[in-house]
Amino acid sequence: MAKTWGLHERTHLGLMLGLTFSTGVVDAVGYLGLDRVFTGNMTGNVVILGMALLGADDLPIIGPVIALVCFMAGAAIGGRVLRRVDEGWTRLSTIMFTSVGIVLLAAAVVLFAAGGHPVQGVQWTVTGMLGLGMGAQAATARHIAVKDVTTVVVTSTLAGLAADSVFGAGKGQPWARRAGAVVLIGLGAVVGAAAVHADAAIGLLVSAVIVLAVAAWGHVATGGPVPIVSTDL
């Protein structure tokens, strides 16, 4: 269904999709390189923790707890910082995303310094850093409010894509953005998994560069009035 959108809104969509790809990278690094821990997808962490509490398959407990607590702390920080500004991209959005990029960069440095097989304490430290960053990113993306693109999870996006399809309710839907979010988080996971084979820190470095680029692009691109254009996204 066609919709008239401002260029700022199209830019927001593109930037949030970029962050969705970055999250796929981070979660692949967390799961494969940090002892089966998700640092962006908290649904997966809750499920892993629930199974681990019954001793299923020697699943980790401390790592998922650290990720959950730090994710919530990061989201709380994001909510506090942005509580008095309107939805959309603001100077504070740039600051928040830049901070997330710096946290990811610092986590990459920690992993580089630890070598190919970091000890458990280093893994937990990096898990906490990533959880904090992903929580802050999720809160900031939520404030920008691009429908169907939360940057950290695509479950509801998949549900909407299927429910509104010709096989479901048959309603018009923004299928391009929904499918794009799903594909991009999957491609990010592919890149993250490939990076882990070389060095998990490389995946975090890639994500840090993406987030910092998003922060810079968003700050410049949404800085002033823009014309209205038509798009079906």
pLDDT at 5 over 80: no
DSSP the chain: --EEEEHHHHHHHHHHHHHHHHHHHHHHHHHHHTTS--SS-HHHHHHHHHHHTTTGGG--SHHHHHHHHHHHHHHHHHHHHHTTS-SS--HHHHHHHHHHHHHHHHHHHHHHHH-SS--HHHHHHHHHHHHHHHHHHHHHHHHHT-TT--SS--HHHHHHHHHTSTTTT-----HHHHHHHHHHHHHHHHHHHHHHHH-HHHHHHHHHHHHHHHHHHHHHHTSS---EEEE--
How far apart, in whole angstroms, are the C-alpha atoms of residue 154 and residue 17?
11
- Please give the pLDDT value at position 7: 53
How far apart, in whole angstroms, are the C-alpha atoms of residue 37 and residue 52?
12
pLDDT at 1 over 60: no
- Please give the pLDDT value at position 109: 96
Question: Region 197-226: what's the mean pLDDT?
Answer: 87
Question: Region 165-178: what's the mean pLDDT?
Answer: 80
Q: Where are the domains of the chain?
A: 13-220
| pLDDT per residue as tens digits for the range 93-152 | 999 999 999 999 999 999 999 987 889 999 999 999 999 999 999 999 999 988 888 898
This prediction has a pTM of 0.88
How far apart, in whole angstroms, are the C-alpha atoms of residue 111 and residue 33?
10
Residue 168 sits at φ, ψ, to 5 deg, of -110, -120
- Please give the pLDDT value at position 188: 96
Question: Region 13-25: what's the mean pLDDT?
Answer: 95
Question: Region 180-195: what's the mean pLDDT?
Answer: 95
- Please give the pLDDT value at position 124: 96
How far apart, in whole angstroms, are the C-alpha atoms of residue 214 and residue 10?
14
- Please give the pLDDT value at position 203: 96
Reading the block at residue 223, the tokens are 């800085």
End-to-end Cα separation, the chain, in angstroms: 8
- Burial category of 71 from C-beta neighbours within 10 Å (exposed 0-12, middle 13-18, buried 19 and up): buried
Q: The domain 13-220: what is its CATH number?
A: 1.20.1250
Question: Region 35-62: what's the mean pLDDT?
Answer: 89
